[in-house]
Amino acid sequence: MSDIPDSSLAPVKTIDGVHYHQHDIVIVGAGGAGMRAAIEAGPNASTAVISKLYPTRSHTGAAQGGMAAALANVEDDNWEWHTFDTVKGGDYLVDQDAAEILAKEAIDAVIDLENMGLPFNRTPEGKIDQRRFGGHTAEHGKNPVRRACYAADRTGHMILQTLYQNCVKFGINFFNEFYVLDLIMGEVDGQKRPAGVVAYELATGELHVFQGKAVIFATGGFGKIYKTTSNAHTLTGDGVGIVWRKGLPLEDMEFFQFHPTGLAGLGILLSEAARGEGAILRNSEGERFMERYAPTIKDLAPRDIVARCIRTEIREGRGAGPNKDYVYLDITHLSPEVIDAKLPDITEFARTYLGVEPYTEPVPILPTAHYAMGGIPTNVKAEVLQDNDTPVPGLYAAGECACVSVHGSNRLGTNSLLDINVFGKRAGNNAVEYVKTADFVPIPDDPAAFVRGLVEQVRGATGTERIAVLRKELQDSMDENAQVFRTEETLNAVTEKIQELRERYLNISVQDKGKRFNTDLLEAIELGFLLDLAEVVVYSARSRTESRGGHFREDFPKRDDENWLVHTMAYLTGDAHSADAGDHIKLSTKPVVITNYQPMERKY
């Protein structure tokens, strides 16, 4: 390789120590959605991808089980059945026009990845192999169907590597280990429009302004508001938090998915692929308890249902272990050859982290916080909305940070890897079309002023509160009060805790005063986003007096379509540090788009 620096990465200018860059399209986040957008955008417009991680360390790489598409390579299938399963699995809060797009474009999305070089598992005939996953059925719910395309149990890893290799092939400009902390908004002809973003370079502590005609957010989820989570340490919701702080709404934040099978005590994910290959959930008595709850598809019921069933078994005294606080995932009846070929990673996790041999022993598991169904509201073009239906021209979002809404109140397994590819591609293509005729929005004289002030304030903090202690208290309270089961009492308790932590956050201590790779500073800023997002989750959950999908209110255990067949829209209206959440969060609703499937009772 040449030692000559890539001029496309060099700033256009530097003023008062702030580096300025200019690109047609600026993508924030280099996971699956960000890189899929970049593959469409990069060859057609000047594109910059900004990531606080090296791209192949993005959390897409942790996804294991597969990517749904009605290829019908193994069993009869079609996209309409996939649409129905997505709508039903999301407990009818799914926008059905978006679900139809997801299911229709799934087939091309898989073929795109195959053509890029992704090494899918194959049938003996050489076709892409498919396996069963929870909630995926044939003939509108009659039988389970094999719909998940997969690469062993490391499908997300393969997708991430494949997308990155293709981004390199296209010469995409990556700014790795740059932490975006602000979205610059301007106004053109009375309309809000993005002008660019401001990023903090981790290696140097310097600030960079990226001016762009279009900005795409693809920053992932915020599972670190919980203690027991499958999410990586970096999933702190920065992109969602930035949009929230700019006064744009967030949608359906109360709906968080708790994956049924996290390693007990750790939360590390054991993929649904295991149950797709025949793994069985058992309680302390050895009973296959899902037969009682979902007699048709048993262990492959949607995740919200399985997670509640596991918690119910534990509550009723059928949990296993010394404290009777987990159940078992049993694959001992599968042959070692099948386990090694199709489930190599998750079995190694069990050996490494719990000292359990999956060939001969059942694995202790417990539900773990896994996926945010809510986030930045978008339409099917991936355009960010500033109210129920008005887009912000030039601003896009895709992946877990976005809410389109194809997942409703509960995402089906394998639809996340599909979502990032379908709507990441749409975001990239629509951004390209937009920048063909758009101009750069003027930026203010000192666009980095807010970020400079934030960084200097946090770095200079000399209070008495430790970041790790505050983060742990937040996560413990969210686990205890806002997880699989919720009530008014528990949600009030965590609300009070968040307000207490907000006050204590004003008195934090940051010990590292340096500029180079200051993780102490980074985690302090991330905690601010976690507090913001946890508050929106809890406030939205308090408001929704029904149970639907991942949101289960024990004091309101029934789904209430008459009053709550609507999306929740949350707006920041005042000071986020006020004493009561109601003082600065306003909630409204948005209708659910219904095309072909009227709400009905979910039976499995």
User: What does the angle CA 569 – CA 574 – CA 579 come to, to the nearest 5 degrees?
Assistant: 105
pLDDT score for 580: 57
Each residue's pLDDT tens digit, 44-89:
999 999 999 999 999 998 888 899 999 999 999 999 999 999 999 9
What's the pLDDT band for 345 if we cut at 50, 70, 90? confident
Amino acid at 515: K
CA distance to 66, 131, 178, per residue, from 276 (Å)? 10, 6, 38
264-368: CATH topology: Flavocytochrome C3; Chain A, domain 1 (3.90.700)
Cα separation, 395 vs 409, in Å, equals 25
Each residue's pLDDT tens digit, 282-317:
999 999 999 999 998 899 888 899 999 999 999 999
Cα separation, 443 vs 22, in Å, equals 11
Cα separation, 541 vs 585, in Å, equals 13
The per-residue DSSP string of 132-166 comes to: EEEEEEETTTTEEEEEEE-STT-HHHHHHHHHHHH
Residues 6+ away with beta carbon under 8 Å from 481: 490, 491, 493, 494, 497
From the number of C-beta atoms within 10 Å of its C-beta (0-12, 13-18, 19+), residue 602 rates as buried
Cα separation, 494 vs 539, in Å, equals 10
Cα separation, 198 vs 444, in Å, equals 12
| Residue from 461, 436, 438, 409 nearest 568 by CA | 409
Cα separation, 26 vs 29, in Å, equals 10
Tokens of 7: 């001029």
Tokens of 117: 């070089």
DSSP classification of residue 488: H
Q: What is the mean pLDDT of residues 340-358?
A: 91
Each residue's pLDDT tens digit, 512-549:
999 999 999 999 999 999 999 999 999 999 999 999 99
**Sheet-wide strand order for 143-149:** 67-68, 143-149, 130-138
Share of the chain above pLDDT 90, in %: 86
Domain boundaries, the chain: 264-368, 448-567
Three-class secondary structure assignment of 529-557: HHHHHHHHHHHHHHHCCCCECCECECCEC
DSSP classification of residue 443: P
pLDDT of 7 over the 70 cut: no
Cα separation, 499 vs 513, in Å, equals 27
The values of phi and psi at residue 139, to 5°, are 55, 50
User: Please, are residues 216 and 34 in contact by the beta-carbon 8 Å criterion?
Assistant: yes
Binding residues for substrate are: 259, 271, 370, 411
DSSP classification of residue 576: T
Each residue's pLDDT tens digit, 136-166:
999 998 899 999 999 998 999 999 999 999 9
DSSP classification of residue 582: G
pLDDT of 3 over the 50 cut: no
The values of phi and psi at residue 68, to 5°, are -75, 140
Binding residues for FAD are: 29-34, 51-66, 238, 400, 416-417
What residues are paired with 462 via a beta bridge? 509
H helix intervals, 9-95:
32-41, 79-89
pLDDT score for 141: 86
Binding residues are: 29-34, 51-66, 238, 259, 271, 370, 400, 411, 416-417
Q: How many residues does the chain have?
A: 604
User: Please, are residues 43 and 29 in contact by the beta-carbon 8 Å criterion?
Assistant: no
Three-class secondary structure assignment of 263-325: ECCCCCECCCHHHHCCCEEECCCCCCCHHHHCCCCHHHCCHHHHHHHHHHHHHCCCCECCCCC
**b/e per residue 15-32 (b: at least 16 CB within 10 A):** eeebbbbbbbbbbbbbbb
Cα separation, 193 vs 186, in Å, equals 5
What residues are paired with 480 via a beta bridge? none
Residue 452 appears among annotated catalytic residues: no
pLDDT of 209 over the 80 cut: yes
448-567: CATH topology: Methane Monooxygenase Hydroxylase; Chain G, domain 1 (1.20.58)
pLDDT of 603 over the 90 cut: no
User: Please, are residues 431 and 37 in contact by the beta-carbon 8 Å criterion?
Assistant: yes
pLDDT score for 582: 58
Amino acid at 536: V
Each residue's pLDDT tens digit, 387-407:
999 999 999 999 999 999 999
User: Please, are residues 50 and 180 in contact by the beta-carbon 8 Å criterion?
Assistant: yes
User: Please, are residues 106 and 145 in contact by the beta-carbon 8 Å criterion?
Assistant: no
- Stronger pLDDT, 458 or 190, i.e. the higher one: 458
Residues 6+ away with beta carbon under 8 Å from 156: 32, 60, 61, 62, 63, 64, 417
DSSP classification of residue 414: T
User: Please, are residues 307 and 326 in contact by the beta-carbon 8 Å criterion?
Assistant: no
Instruction: Give the up-direction half-sphere exposure of residue 285: CA atoms within 13 A in the CB hemisphere.
Output: 8
Continuous segment of H or E residues that includes residue 131? strand 130-138
DSSP classification of residue 442: P
Tokens of 423: 């709507």
Choice among 131, 282, 303, 502 that is catalytic = 303
Each residue's pLDDT tens digit, 475-518:
999 999 999 999 999 999 999 999 999 999 999 999 999 999 99
CA–chain centroid gap for 401, Å, is 6
pLDDT score for 12: 81
Q: Tokens 């005590």 appear where? A: 265
